[in-house]
Amino acid sequence: MKEYIKLTIDGVEVTAEKGQTVLEAARQNSIDIPTLCHDERVAPYGACGLCVVEAEGNPKLLRSCATKAADGMKITTNSERIHRARKFALQMLLSDHTGDCKAPCSLACPAGTDCQGYVGLIANGENAEATRVIKSKIPMPASIGRVCPHPCETACRRQMVEEPIAIAALKAYAADKDLAADEQYTPEVLAPTGKSVAVIGGGPGGLSAAYYLALKGHSVTVYDMMPKMGGMLRYGIPQYRLPKEVLDKEIALIERTGVKLQNNIKIGTDITLDELRASNDAVVVAVGAWVSSKMRVKGEDLDGVYGGIDFLRSVILGKAPKIGEKVAVCGGGNTAMDACRTAVRLGAKEVYIIYRRTRDEMPADELEIDEAEEEGVIFKFLTNPDEILSKDGKVCGIRLQVMELGEPDASGRRKPVPVDGKFENIELDSVIMAIGQKSNLEGLEALELTSWGTISADEATFRTNLDGVFAVGDATNKGADIAISAIGEAQKSANVIDSYLNGCTVGYKKPILVERKITAEDLKDKKRIPREKVRVLSPEDRKHNFSEVAFRLTDEQAKAEASRCLECGCLDYYRCKLIKYSNEYDADFSKFIGEKSVANKDTEHPYIMRDSGKCILCGLCVRVCSEVMNVTAIGLAGRGFTTVVSPEFYQTLNDSKCISCGQCVTLCPTGALIEKVPFKKDVPLEEKSVKTHCTGCANACKLTAFSVGSTLTRTEPVAGGILCTEGRLGFAVINNPEKISNAVINGELVSVDDAANKTAQTIKSYTSDEVAVTVCDNLTDEALAAAKKLADTIGTSTFITLGNPKKCIADKDVAEFERVFGDKFNIGINSQKSKDLGAIPAESTDLSKIKAVISFGSVKPEFEDIEFIAVQGLTADIKADIIFPLVSSFETDGTFGGEIKISKAVKSSSLSNEDIIDRIINYLK
Amino acid sequence: MYNIKVGEGSCGISAGAAKIYSLLEKSNTDNIFGLSVTGCIGMCFLEPIVDIYNNDELCARLVQVKESDVEYILQFIATGDESAIKNLKISDDDSEFLSKQTRIALRNCGIIDPEDINDYISHGGYSALSKVIESLTPEQVIDEIKISGLAGRGGAGFPTWFKWNAARQSDGEEKYLICNADEGDPGAFMDRAVIESDPHALIEGMLIGAYAIGAKEAVVYVRAEYPLAIARLEKAIEQAKEKGYVGNNILGSDFSCSFRIKAGAGAFVCGEETALIESLEGQRGMPRLKPPFPAQSGYWGKPSNINNVETFANVTWIISNGGEAFAALGTEDSKGTKVFALTGKIRRGGLVEIPMGKTLNDVIFDIGDGMRTERAFKGVQLGGPSGGCIPANLADTQVDYKKLSATGAIMGSGGMVVMDESTCMVGMAKFFLDFTTKESCGKCVPCRIGTRRLLEILDRICKGEGKEGDIELLEELCIQIKDGSLCGLGQTAPNPVLTTLKYFRDEYEAHIKEKRCPAGECIDLISYNVLPEKCIGCLMCQKKCPVGAISGKVKEVQTIDHDKCIKCGRCKDVCRFGAVEIR
């Protein structure tokens, strides 16, 4: 008879069983109390200090994991003191945590794109999944992959070995694959919310905001003054860098999410901000910066002087101005490069870049400078326009003031200073001023501006001074920046606007993350692998036309390039409880930075990796290993700050008594203990999960199967449960690259049909009584029934069950495994289901007449002098004439033991087991 | 006949007492005088001490006895001529060190032979046990302890009777009585002295406790660094067994109690009762969550009672003399006496037992005779790393649990470290934090990492790298570590920082803002300089400087090369003219 008590938690009276802890009572009543060191499988420990609560009348903070609930108790779980204590514990843990939550590439990306994620997926051949990952942050990756100055690569640690990963090219590669596929990736759009949003400006910022708002179910219309969408991507970037056909395709995909696009509409002229505000629930201003900045040089207004972006836009619109044969472009950024290379393509014979510093200080992308040089552009470094010279009101030349580099300025670059009285003249037909750009804010006068004349938008909420009006991109705050910055702001603003539309504005908050400082010294043992070179058109082949200069990486190149990734980011990022709670409690640890414990990695174990730098000494691994498993492979060693979790005598885990049950990994709240992911490239990703059963043996343990794309990444026992090595860690065989998806006849890959036919013919060469059919316990009911049907069709009564597949225990001592698992698993029981179907155990079968066997499931019988007609197997290296592919329980739906439902976790690469058997039956008929 | 007793506690032995004993022994082949060892009398500053008794009466206490003094002792024994030992006798002033004390726990220390149970019995030993077994019920024993007002002497000051009663009331046949002799505070040696000098007092007190709670097994958890204490205790247990005080059917009653010793491996945290139990069970010494308290579920999950050595040493006296006699001593809240290990910059260091209610000044100046040098008294650290620092202006505080706690310090187990002006309070806090950081078991987060961060900040302040805001950061850390730590170690670890911040904040500020150490102790913040007006050019400093940093001609003013100087202070120590100054 259970006894119940009543207590009050956070002012609510709840009922709990007598003997329950406060934590259990709270959880049972849906009150969440955080903890990093408690699990129901083990005894309370009280190390992390997160589960603290207050009890009325007790001056101390109580650890709820260990405090028994008592009748009449009054518990508070969320006071300021509790919050402070929890936050402090998290701050302390983070201050002693060594690792990189996210890779530097991802942190450097203004849009927070998971570069390591998609690079890793490309390395593993999961291109579709890679596109999904990219598109969660960038709606037009094929375009951005081509034009982005890639801050990700600037931050890439691989350059400390030799060169950074070609992240941008890989992005373009994956996105182009998707565009070329039969079906393009289209994300799920949530149900309509009934709210509408107007976006002013159809550039990368506006389109991104529209895309992510549309995905949330809002009705979005984009208004743009130009004839087509794309903004600067279309009108500021030359065709040879970004073919507009690519942009068109990506915009079409954005439209698929339900975004409405309206071109040739100028704000203030065709429609007013007030009208948009009145007819929508929110307005996003993303008008960009479309006005070329002036240099205030004499002669700037002459005929033959053009603004950089004005010039590029005219060319793209097919209205290229007559620039003549001699052209000077003033400026050192990417727009200047685009302008000079466009001038070359328009037929100019002499094209100059006028830049007041030297090549080293040029802000333009290195590759752009190189390619411009290859195309014959003449660089006039350390010169500054003094006056644009004219003849008959038209440009005829330029007078340049010669400069030299002086002291470094605030940006750290050496400041150019004029050399007194030193000038140089060049004869010219036209001048292009590519020195910067600003916004035209006509029609947006109601918006408050910054002192730089840009729209003032809150950095966390993107709010302007007008309610419901948000602003992002080049027109805001610090002004013009690269496209990916606008996309990043837009994507973040979409979440904020969504929250605004839901009635409670939640601003963007930079996540709390742990980072590591790495030097070339740390990477000195890495093998040098040169960066894959993207093939480009030769200067001669490209300088007279607007064909795209760069080709895409080939499949082989992409895999090889992606495989160079150093895998900086933590594999546990999406599961880590420490970082989850740290963000919930806003545990900024910067003021407590101090010495960290020594970080050691142990990767020798076949299934488990240990990283002591990420260990928070919660003791869960140690306790589950001793209290639950009774193994004690690991323990605590050392004292105080230098305490570590370690196998005895500081051995590796592989040399310890570990039996590979994986319990420690299941319970580890951080990335200190993780499974070896069955990927060629380890990559931290958000996984999909399915609740199903392990069919490794007749025990059919409940488990959760996790997958990424078509790869089964790991399994976990259901809450509080346990799996054996096979179920927990030994499933990796299904990801075996050698795994066959077609049949094999005498070592040759053939279709399942051919093999089924051959099998049927061979069966027919025997009499019914001479053939036996065997099954084993890892088959589903459907496959068992099909096998029984096959036996009946053949007409044999020798239908044998071989029972359980032999346990895989990773080269560990079988006796030790059975000692630990023996009472937890019924090792060796036969499936009742196959017996119900009439199967007989092998040992009680009369085999005297049998001449040939056909065998299904992962157990192959050991019969002497009997021919195997066909067997199922994972790989082709099984001794048999005919091998059929074997489909594991993770790849199929069905039932098991008559009652248990199995759910597919990943797509099977071959026909199901029962389908294969049915084919044989068909050929027998 | 003369009886000579040589004080052979660890302190006496390290000062040379064993050699004196053996010299005396060699000269006594004819047994012309009685010769025995005794424990520690508590006057560490005067060791080795040799007491000469005329039959049972002390007739001469000789102090700081050297091997060469043995012949004078023998001369006195032979002739009875006191002039032979006149120069060796303790001064009247120093005699006050003992005469001003009130000894209960230490009553036999330095008087009886700790290795002879008969000596203990002849001083009234085991009569309390007989009384308990013959005429008192366990409840009556607990009542007597309740009347006495005895509180746990290990530091927390929890009423002893309450713990005993809780263990007595707990269900279960199997119960354990445990003595915590894991004395780990730097500067504390009270328990060691009791075990080395009067082990039967502990055994008898424990037997009474075991009788009261119903335990059949008693365990003494003593640190392995106390080999002499362990050896004497082992011997005492053997002797008690032989006499029938330990074992089955003690004194013919149906009360049985076995005894054993567990030597701890020297982890400070094992002084925490639940960590001690873990260690006893063969586990890593880490505290358990409370509740359940040991009285409900302790050693092997059975009801257990844990008291420290001094508490048990008081028990025997209380039973013999009555709880009321004990309660007559002390204050309203704190009864009886307290033993302190007086150390530091004090003139007379040693073991001091005084009635509760005396002031710290009484201990430091009356008994301890003030500072060892001319420098002024600055403060006193009570309770070791868990305790706090009380400044000179509060030294009139009474020795009383509540009154000491009100200052931010604690009574503690009895460590009393006296500091003068030359002690840097930031450095002192750093010293204790260095200790707790290393001794933290590593289990709970605030203690494991928090104390480390505290230490790092204190370290940078001492190095002159302190930053604006560091004091506030220290305070924040202290509050959170106290609030969030699992056991007493962590909960009290910030006390040295908090109390020095409370009473000596200006010193912290001087380090941070002016990069100056007012006490002149932080070597990164000081320099040694020669005062020209005082230097006579004797070259003594130049000769003693280990790195050749001092130069100058004879009879001229010397100069110190600050680039070479390692700030060892030798020059200042050797200068007889006060010409070297710390800036």
Position A829 scores a pLDDT of: 42
**How confident is the model over A318-346, as a mean pLDDT?**
95
Q: For chain A, which residues make up each domain, given as ranges?
A: 4-95, 291-436, 598-735, 743-924
A895's tokens: 């039932």
Average pLDDT of the residues of chain A: 90
Alpha helices (H) in A280-363, listed in sequence order: 308-316, 334-345
Position A634 scores a pLDDT of: 95
Q: Is the pLDDT of residue B5 over 70?
A: yes
Distance from CA of A68 to the nearest CA of B (A): 9
Q: Report the greatest alpha carbon distance in chain B.
A: 85
If you measure CA to CA, which chain A residue comes closest to B435?
Answer: A640
Q: Rounded CA gap, A605 and A619, in Å? A: 20
Distance from CA of B422 to the nearest CA of A (A): 30
If asked whether residues B180 and B206 sit together in one domain, one would say yes
Peptide bond into B199 cis (omega under 30): no
- Asked if residue B519 is part of any domain, the answer here is no
- As a CATH number, domain A598-735 is 3.30.70.20
CB within 8 Å of chain A, chain B residues 431-460: 437-446, 448-453, 456
Determine what percent of chain B is predicted with pLDDT higher than 70: 100
First to last CA, chain A: 62
> Residue B278 sits in a domain of what CATH number?
3.40.50.11540
* Interface contact flag, A594 B291, Cβ < 8 Å: no
If asked whether residues B273 and B214 sit together in one domain, one would say yes
If you measure CA to CA, which chain A residue comes closest to B476?
Answer: A88
Position A830 scores a pLDDT of: 43
ipTM value: 0.90
**pLDDT band of A732, cuts 50, 70, 90:** low
* Interface contact flag, B449 A66, Cβ < 8 Å: no
Distance from CA of B458 to the nearest CA of A (A): 12
Number of structural domains (chain B) is 5
Which residues touch B262 (CB under 8 Å, ≥6 apart)?
Answer: B219, B220, B221, B222, B279, B280
Distance from CA of B472 to the nearest CA of A (A): 11
Distance from CA of A596 to the nearest CA of B (A): 9
Cα dist. A499→A461, A476, A493, A494, A542 in Å? 10, 21, 10, 9, 48
Average pLDDT of the residues of chain B: 94
Burial of B162 (0-12, 13-18, 19+ CB in 10 A): middle
Burial of A215 (0-12, 13-18, 19+ CB in 10 A): buried
**How confident is the model over B17-25, as a mean pLDDT?**
95
A878's tokens: 């099984």
- Asked if residue B109 is part of any domain, the answer here is no
Closest CB to A638 among B439, B442, B451: B442
> Residue B573 sits in a domain of what CATH number?
3.30.70.20
Instruction: Report yes or no: B212 and B312 within 8 Å, Cβ to Cβ.
Output: no
Contacts of B284 in chain A (CB under 8 A): 635-636
- Asked if residue B264 is part of any domain, the answer here is yes
Q: Is the pLDDT of residue A811 over 60?
A: no
* Helical packing angle, A167-180 and A244-256, nearest 10°: 70
The conformation of residue B562, written as its DSSP 8-state character, comes to: T
If asked whether residues B414 and B439 sit together in one domain, one would say no
Position A762 scores a pLDDT of: 92
Q: Is B218 on the interface with A (CB under 8 A)?
A: no
CB within 8 Å of chain A, chain B residues 264-293: 267, 284, 286, 289, 291
* Interface contact flag, A641 B449, Cβ < 8 Å: yes
What sign does the dihedral B539-B543-B546-B548 (CA atoms) show? positive
Place of tokens 């069983």: A17
Which residues touch A382 (CB under 8 Å, ≥6 apart)?
Answer: A355, A356, A357, A358, A402, A403, A404, A405, A416
- As a CATH number, domain A4-95 is 3.10.20.740
Closest CB to B289 among A46, A592, A635: A46
**How confident is the model over A916-921, as a mean pLDDT?**
94
Q: Is the pLDDT of residue A812 over 70?
A: no
* Interface contact flag, A640 B443, Cβ < 8 Å: no
Q: Which of B471, B488, B513 is the last residue of a domain?
A: B513
* Interface contact flag, A594 B453, Cβ < 8 Å: yes
If asked whether residues B532 and B466 sit together in one domain, one would say no
Closest CB to B449 among A81, A85, A95: A95
Reduced DSSP (H G I as helix, E B as strand, rest coil) percent helix, strand, coil of chain A, to 5: 30, 20, 50
Distance from CA of B478 to the nearest CA of A (A): 11
Position A810 scores a pLDDT of: 35
The conformation of residue A159, written as its DSSP 8-state character, comes to: G
* Interface contact flag, B445 A93, Cβ < 8 Å: yes
pLDDT digits (tens, 9 = 90+) for B152-201: 998 888 999 999 999 999 999 999 999 999 998 888 999 999 999 999 99
pLDDT digits (tens, 9 = 90+) for A741-766: 889 998 888 999 999 999 999 999 99
Cα atoms in the Cβ-side hemisphere of radius 13 Å centred on B109? 32
If asked whether residues B145 and B234 sit together in one domain, one would say yes
Position A397 scores a pLDDT of: 93
pLDDT digits (tens, 9 = 90+) for B328-362: 999 999 999 999 999 999 999 999 999 999 999 99
Q: Is the pLDDT of residue A826 over 80?
A: no
If asked whether residues B43 and B138 sit together in one domain, one would say no
Instruction: Report yes or no: A460 and A178 within 8 Å, Cβ to Cβ.
Output: no
If you measure CA to CA, which chain A residue comes closest to B438?
Answer: A640
Residue A24 backbone class (left: φ over 0; alpha: ψ -120 to 50; beta: rest): alpha
pLDDT digits (tens, 9 = 90+) for A354-390: 999 999 989 999 999 999 999 999 999 999 999 999 9
Looking at domain A743-924, which of 3.20.20.220, 3.40.800.10, 3.30.420.40, 3.40.50.740 is its CATH number?
A: 3.40.50.740
Closest CB to B446 among A49, A619, A641: A49
Which residues touch A222 (CB under 8 Å, ≥6 apart)?
Answer: A199, A201, A202, A206, A207, A210, A229, A259, A260, A261, A262
The H-or-E segment that residue A430 falls in is strand A430-433
Cα dist. B521→A533, B226, B382, B546 in Å? 63, 32, 21, 19
**How confident is the model over A65-80, as a mean pLDDT?**
93
Position A824 scores a pLDDT of: 54
- Asked if residue B522 is part of any domain, the answer here is no
Rg, chain A, Cα only: 34
- Asked if residue B54 is part of any domain, the answer here is yes
Position A848 scores a pLDDT of: 84
Q: Rounded CA gap, B490 and A274, in Å? A: 62
If asked whether residues B33 and B64 sit together in one domain, one would say yes
Give which of B177, B183, B283 is closest to B224, Cα–Cα: B183
B546's tokens: 């280990």
**How confident is the model over A491-517, as a mean pLDDT?**
95
Q: Is B398 on the interface with A (CB under 8 A)?
A: no
**pLDDT band of A817, cuts 50, 70, 90:** low
* Helical packing angle, A555-563 and A167-180, nearest 10°: 140
Peptide bond into B138 cis (omega under 30): no
Q: Is the pLDDT of residue A168 over 80?
A: yes
Give which of A678, A676, A742, A738 is closest to A710, Cα–Cα: A678
Q: Is the pLDDT of residue A518 over 80?
A: yes
pLDDT digits (tens, 9 = 90+) for A248-299: 999 999 999 999 999 999 999 999 999 999 999 999 999 999 999 888 899 9
If asked whether residues B505 and B573 sit together in one domain, one would say no
| A131 or A803: which leads in pLDDT | A131
Answer yes or no: CATH 3.90.1300.10 is held by domain A291-436: no
**How confident is the model over A869-893, as a mean pLDDT?**
83
| A827 or B135: which leads in pLDDT | B135
Q: Which of B513, B541, B571 is the last residue of a domain?
A: B513
Q: Is the pLDDT of residue A731 over 90?
A: no
Q: Of A162-166, A701-705, A883-887, which one has max mean pLDDT?
A: A162-166
pLDDT digits (tens, 9 = 90+) for A539-592: 999 999 999 999 999 999 999 999 999 999 999 999 999 999 999 999 999 989
Position A841 scores a pLDDT of: 81
Q: Is the pLDDT of residue B324 over 50?
A: yes
> What are the backbone angles phi and psi of residue A219, rounded to the nearest 5°?
-90, 120
If asked whether residues B179 and B318 sit together in one domain, one would say yes
What sign does the dihedral B547-B550-B552-B553 (CA atoms) show? negative
Give which of B329, B333, B327, B377 is closest to B353, Cα–Cα: B329
Q: Rounded CA gap, A258 and B444, in Å? A: 53
Alpha helices (H) in B468-569, listed in sequence order: 470-484, 488-492, 495-503, 505-513, 540-544
* Interface contact flag, A89 B484, Cβ < 8 Å: yes
**How confident is the model over B299-309, as a mean pLDDT?**
95
Closest CB to A63 among B289, B450, B453: B289
B423's tokens: 């002690």
Q: Rounded CA gap, B269 and A281, in Å? A: 63
Q: Rounded CA gap, A903 and A694, in Å? A: 10
Contacts of B480 in chain A (CB under 8 A): 84-85, 88
Q: Rounded CA gap, A687 and A270, in Å? A: 47
Chain A positions with Cβ closer than 8 Å to B: 44-49, 52, 61, 63, 66-68, 81, 84-85, 88-89, 92-93, 95-96, 591-592, 594-595, 616-617, 619, 635-636, 638-643
pLDDT digits (tens, 9 = 90+) for A393-407: 899 999 999 999 988
A504's tokens: 């409670």
Q: Which of B360, B385, B420 is the last residue of a domain?
A: B420
pLDDT digits (tens, 9 = 90+) for B446-493: 999 999 999 999 999 999 999 999 999 999 999 999 999 999 999 999
* Interface contact flag, A641 B444, Cβ < 8 Å: no
Identify the weakest region by mean pLDDT among A125-139, A307-321, A880-894.
Answer: A880-894
> What are the backbone angles phi and psi of residue B576, rounded to the nearest 5°?
-90, 0
If asked whether residues B145 and B214 sit together in one domain, one would say yes
Quote the pTM value: 0.89
The H-or-E segment that residue A917 falls in is helix A913-924
Give which of A612, A643, A48, A641 is closest to B455, Cα–Cα: A641
- Asked if residue B98 is part of any domain, the answer here is no
Q: Is the pLDDT of residue B51 over 90?
A: yes
Distance from CA of A507 to the nearest CA of B (A): 29
* Interface contact flag, A47 B443, Cβ < 8 Å: yes
Strand B550-551 and strand B559-560: the pairing is antiparallel
pLDDT digits (tens, 9 = 90+) for A604-657: 998 899 999 999 999 999 999 999 888 899 999 999 999 999 999 999 999 998
Q: At residue A918, what is the residue type?
A: D
If asked whether residues B273 and B385 sit together in one domain, one would say no
Q: Is the pLDDT of residue B139 over 50?
A: yes
Determine what percent of chain A is predicted with pLDDT higher than 70: 96
If asked whether residues B196 and B209 sit together in one domain, one would say yes
Quote the domain boundaries for residue B258: 117-326
**pLDDT band of A816, cuts 50, 70, 90:** low
pLDDT digits (tens, 9 = 90+) for B78-92: 998 889 999 999 999
How many A-B residue pairs are in contact by the CB < 8 A criterion?
A: 98
* Interface contact flag, B284 A635, Cβ < 8 Å: yes
If you measure CA to CA, which chain B residue comes closest to A94?
Answer: B449
Which residues touch A2 (CB under 8 Å, ≥6 apart)?
Answer: A17, A18
